[in-house]
Amino acid sequence: MQIRPAAALTGALIGMSALFLPTATAQATGRTTHHHHHHHPVTVAHRGASGYAPENTLAAVDAADDLGIDWVENDIQRTRDGELIVMHDTTLNRTTDVEQVFPDRAPWKISDFTLDEIEKLDAGSWFGPDFQGETVPTLEEYMDRVSDNHQKLLLELKAPELYPGIERQTLRELRREGWLDHRHKRRLIVQSFNAESVRTVHRLRPDVKTGFLGTPAVADLPEYAEFSDQINPSYPTIDASYVAAVRSVDGAHGKPLEVYTWTVNDGPTAVSVAGMGVDGIITNKPDVVRDALDDAS
Ligand code: G3P
Ligand code: CA
């Protein structure tokens, strides 16, 4: 496998991180063939390497790092007293021991609990005894760990309709922690299922890369492209022609819209979506996806 010297130029044109050579012969003769022309998507550890460690914890960030995975994905929400934390569900009971600690507080909504209360919870034991004592991270703790590990973050604003102003608050916190400076900006993408929320992020900080989670109709893509750089659909909703249609529209920063698809946890599916031309694969098992892509290229 060789990396084509012109990859930087071509990659910049079509927004890919790497292009792989068809064959050495083709390069030598100047012929091009699509036969072995593999596009190598980036692998993103979904909620951290959540197949191997409790989702959305520092242990899951470290598990991704231990596998050599640069990109992690998480979910941001807000406590009753206005602190930003990392959790997927809008309630605390699936991924913590809240039902034991606060038995009379059903339905255990995040927005009904203070940060102090949430910090008392065990967010690891539900996944396995090795992770007992793992806590729900604040956004700040989470960013510090991603930074220490030299990783990159696909940050999801989860259910932002429940947390008015969370876009501005999240950006303010990221800026305070240095994540919006020139060097860090390329290490951050902010995404949401809520299009208005993505639009707000783009309006407040047009320099930040953004993604819309979902599978908009092709006819609506130009509208999403006003405020998004990525369209991030679930993998069962896509095919090669949809991916091509998305990538043929320029996003908010004038580059072709990228496609990061989720949640792909097996090698054959990873190879299949890579063949459709996606730019990123979001997965609970980033080693499985990466190894399958490596073997196929
Ligand atoms: O990043 C894609 C994926 O996280 C979206 O779905 O429910 O896992 O947040 P969900
Ligand atoms: Ca998510």
The enclosing domain of 158 has a CATH number of 3.20.20.190
Question: Whole-angstrom Cα distance, residue 49 to residue 213?
Answer: 20
Q: What is the pTM of this model?
A: 0.87
Cis preceding-peptide flag for 91 (omega within 30 of 0): no
Query: pLDDT tier at 183 (50, 70, 90 boundaries)?
Result: confident
Residue 97, pLDDT > 90, answer yes
Domain count for the chain, please give it: 1
Q: Supply the pLDDT for residue 39.
A: 60
Q: Is the CB of 134 under 6 A from ligand 1?
A: no
Q: Is the separation of the CB atoms in 188 and 208 below 8 Å?
A: yes
Q: Is the minimum distance from the CB of 73 to ligand 1 under 6 angstroms?
A: yes
Within a 10 A sphere around the Cβ of 229, how many other Cβ atoms?
Answer: 25
Residue corresponding to tokens 């590990």: 149
Is residue 40 annotated as part of the catalytic site, yes or no? no
Mutate to test the pocket of ligand 1, among 215, 262, 279 (most ligand atoms within 8 A of CB): 262
**88 part of the active site:** yes
β-bridge mates for residue 261, sequence order: 281
Residues spanned by the domain of 108: 3-296
Instruction: Determine the residue of 153, 156, 264 to mutate for testing ligand 1's pocket, defined as the one with the most ligand atoms within 8 A of the Cβ atom.
Output: 156
> 219 or 9: which carries more pLDDT confidence?
219
Q: How far apart are CA 155 and CA 88, in angstroms?
A: 11
Asked if residues 180 and 205 have their Cβ atoms less than 8 Å apart, the reply is: yes
What burial letters (b/e) apply to 236-262, b meaning 16+ CB within 10 Å? eebeeebbebbbeeebbeeebbbbbbb
